[in-house]
Structure 1
Amino acid sequence: MKKKAALYDPYLDVLGGGEKHILSIVKVLSDEDYDIDIFWDSDLTKEIKKRFNLTFPSLKFQSNIFKKNISVLTRTTQLASYEYFFYVTDGSYFFSLAKNNFVFCMVPSRSLYSMSVLNKLKTSNVTFISNSEFTRKHLASWGIKSKVLYPYIDKVFFERNSSIVKQKIILSVGRFFGGLHVKNHTVMISYFNKLVNSGLLNGYKLVLAGGLKKEDETYFENLKRQVKNNPNLILKPNVKFKELFNLYRSAEYYWHFTGLGVDEVKQPEKTEHLGIAPLEAMALSCISFCYGAGGIKEIVKDGENGFLFWNEKELFEKMSKILADKRQRENIQTKSQAFVRENFGYDVFQKKVKEILFNH
């Protein structure tokens, strides 16, 4: 009988960067001939393929045993059949008789990691995995030890890069919502308009792409009203992998404003916890400008493989300088591609996953 691994993520249908990260972990086990079960009441296989370009040799969606009406005994008994069990916490923790248990931590929010006496019992056989050093440090300050596992970037981002032809596009990728760590779309639109009016971005377009859920449609409608009929402002909700890939290939610059105006010490959950989208952009030669808070500082080295900024003036000044310096643009593009290839390829990720899972 084949070995089995299971996953539960209460945010699975968001299909954002965190979901890609945790799915990629179980993908490694799938490639090691494990059967993978995901506890979710609808089959998202097609959506996962379209959004993330992820496929699994053996993947099944099982009834969600983490609903409140499911008894602890039923849940615990079912988990006992698994070699590995992974879950993302929304503040809830579970008893599990799986042989190996892991909690994947993608949001450094204190409210998610309250270790009461009961929660300590529930996690006594658990290994915590953090998505960045930024997240790990915050968990450590709350008394939780974890191991850092960075994501990987799909190999297609490293192929045929010599044929890339850039256009006058500034791209930003992030879910359309007004929740925890907002992407600050309205601020981006405002900054872009100012730069166009100043003459600095003549001929450029700003493309905002990302997932959109039904409950966030009001937020999206407000963005549409801000954009109005401006042909240089383009909103792309729920783009599939192929379209997103082509946007990265076409865009000359990438903007990332998550955490803008936030105190990262007091509210770390509202910053960027790592930044998969900026990494994908860097892999395809987009020169990235990211607000300098949170985990983003682990991947963007200011002036070397991209740029960090902390206010409007700094962004405008750095944009102005790079637009006028072709040599520096080419240097940044070369270094950003090399950085992502060397540190975020699948081989690096796979090796680290096996190290954590098989030797913990």
Structure 2
Amino acid sequence: MKVGIYSPYLDTLGGGERYILTAAEFFLHRKDSVDIFWDKDSDLQDMAARFGLDLKGAKFVSNLFSGNFSFWQRLRKSYRYDLILVLSDGSIPLTLAKKNFIHLQVPFQKSNRPKIVNRLKLLTYKAVLCNSYFTKKIIDQTYGITSSVLYPPVDVNRFQPGKKEKVILSVGRFFAARHLHNFAPKKHQEMISAFEELIDSGLKDWKLRLLGANSPDQQSSLEQLKKIAQNYPIEISSNVDYEDLKTSFAQASIYWHAAGFGEDLDKHPERAEHFGITTVEAMASGAVPVVFAGGGQKEIIQDSVNGLFWQTPGELQTKTIQLIKNQSLTRKLAEKALIRSRDFSKQKFFRSLEDLLK
């Protein structure tokens, strides 16, 4: 089978890119031919290494979805494909592939096309996939459809608990200050402030470790965070390699996540965590997740069973101290979190994709 893969954001290497590149790995395991539509100067194997994927055999080809191709050229060339998988930026591209899958990872509340136009376009797609029921609810309303949920793949077998240290970890992309009109999606500054208050209140020997990807245009934002964190036991590192990332997960005792805090999620659902891949990775590594109670995180965690929810910085601090002081509770939640993480394995993702092909 000849398969085409497209993401307009491929070089950002975020959760959506992990999703569709893992799908590319699935097709390669089936001995299918895989083309990735991309024109920029990028190294596919570097991308694969970032996510711990085996993409040998896949290749970049001219991007049919760029302005270099007319609508009719795209249709003609797409006809050669048995299946095309698209990561949507909100638009619904038309292709003449025998089968079309589209992944809508953001709970878009608005579309630049009338609902009836989107519904007609989506009739050409065999599968409309969302990364959570949180996302699905908004997508179905916006586009007037009934989508399916295929949870993002997490290679939980690659993450193992290690010797636990007094480390609180958070993993999330470092965005530039101008991103989304000064909206900071991962709330790094809020977590730094919460941790500094814990230290000022007497917490000793613990450190906060913040890891995430960033690009040159985001460097000033990263440096600003480092300045805020000066004189406190806070480590901030960007673009760490996959093995170092796994080591940090293995060492962490507690995992923090703050996306969605302080936002009106009824008005801006896109500002919540749409699913929570790094939360699952932390759980697979035996860290207890302490995460903001919003978005797709509520589909991963059962409060006080395999993690803890918080809604205010005070709750984040209180529940973190509770774990630090009660090691029996920490071990209990970590064990349950590890079990729960397996529900989001890459193997389950592969089986679900296989079912969709039938």
TM over 0.5: yes
Could you tell me which amino acid in structure 1 is paired with residue 195 of structure 2? F
Q: Does 1:63 align with 2:47?
A: no
Contact 1:285-1:337 at 8 Å conserved across structures: yes
Q: Secondary structure at the match of 2:166?
A: strand
Deviations 1:113-142 (A, max 9, x none): 744554444332112100011111111222
Unaligned runs of 5+ in 1: none
Instruction: Pick which of 277-286 and 144-153 moved more.
Output: 144-153
Residue matched to 1:353: 353
Q: Secondary structure at the match of 1:294?
A: coil
Q: How far apart, CA to CA, are the structure 2 residues paired with 1:258 and 1:113?
A: 26
> CA RMSD of the aligned region, Å?
1.7
Equivalent runs, 1:180-219 vs 2, <5 Å: 180=180, 182-199=185-202, 201-219=203-221
Q: How far apart, CA to CA, are the structure 2 residues paired with 1:147 and 1:258?
A: 24
Instruction: Pick which of 264-273 and 61-70 moved more.
Output: 61-70
Residue matched to 2:249: 248
Q: How far apart, CA to CA, are the structure 1 residues paired with 2:152 and 2:123?
A: 26
Deviations 1:128-162 (A, max 9, x none): 10001111111122212211001222144355x4x
Q: Secondary structure at the match of 1:303?
A: coil
Contact 1:91-1:114 at 8 Å conserved across structures: no
Residue matched to 2:35: 37
Could you tell me which amino acid in structure 2 is paired with residue 14 of structure 1? T
Contact 1:131-1:150 at 8 Å conserved across structures: yes
Equivalent runs, 1:1-360 vs 2, <5 Å: 3-41=1-39, 42-112=41-111, 114-126=113-125, 127-142=127-142, 143-157=144-158, 161=161, 164-177=162-175, 178=177, 179-180=179-180, 182-199=185-202, 201-228=203-230, 230=231, 232-341=233-342, 343-356=343-356, 358-359=357-358
Could you tell me which amino acid in structure 2 is paired with residue 128 of structure 1? V
Shift of residue 43, structure 1, vs aligned partner: 3.7
Contact 2:82-2:97 at 8 Å conserved across structures: yes
Q: How far apart, CA to CA, are the structure 2 residues paired with 1:145 and 1:120?
A: 10
Instruction: Pick which of 28-37 and 44-53 moved more.
Output: 44-53
Q: Detail structure 1 runs of 4+ shifted over 6 Å in the superposition.
A: none
Q: How far apart, CA to CA, are the structure 2 residues paired with 1:312 and 1:299?
A: 21
Unaligned runs of 5+ in 2: none
Deviations 1:231-264 (A, max 9, x none): 6111111111111000001111111000001122
Instruction: Give % identity.
Output: 35
Distance 1:158 1:187, change over 3 A: closer
Q: How far apart, CA to CA, are the structure 1 residues paired with 2:69 and 2:116?
A: 22
Q: Secondary structure at the match of 2:336?
A: helix
Distance 1:38 1:106, change over 3 A: same
Could you tell me which amino acid in structure 1 is paired with residue 295 of structure 2? G
Q: Secondary structure at the match of 1:6?
A: strand
Deviations 1:200-235 (A, max 9, x none): x3111111111101222222122122123x361111
Q: How far apart, CA to CA, are the structure 2 residues paired with 1:332 and 1:34?
A: 41
Q: How far apart, CA to CA, are the structure 1 residues paired with 2:225 and 2:72?
A: 47
Q: How far apart, CA to CA, are the structure 1 residues paired with 2:287 and 2:147?
A: 32
Could you tell me which amino acid in structure 2 is paired with residue 198 of structure 1? S
Shift of residue 102, structure 1, vs aligned partner: 1.4
Deviations 1:53-107 (A, max 9, x none): 0112420001222222321111111111111101122233322000111110111
Q: How far apart, CA to CA, are the structure 2 residues paired with 1:136 and 1:104?
A: 11
Q: How far apart, CA to CA, are the structure 2 residues paired with 1:190 and 1:256?
A: 14
Contact 1:34-1:58 at 8 Å conserved across structures: no
Q: How far apart, CA to CA, are the structure 2 residues paired with 1:355 and 1:336?
A: 27
Could you tell me which amino acid in structure 2 is paired with residue 224 of structure 1? K
Contact 2:164-2:250 at 8 Å conserved across structures: yes
Q: How far apart, CA to CA, are the structure 2 residues paired with 1:187 and 1:233?
A: 13
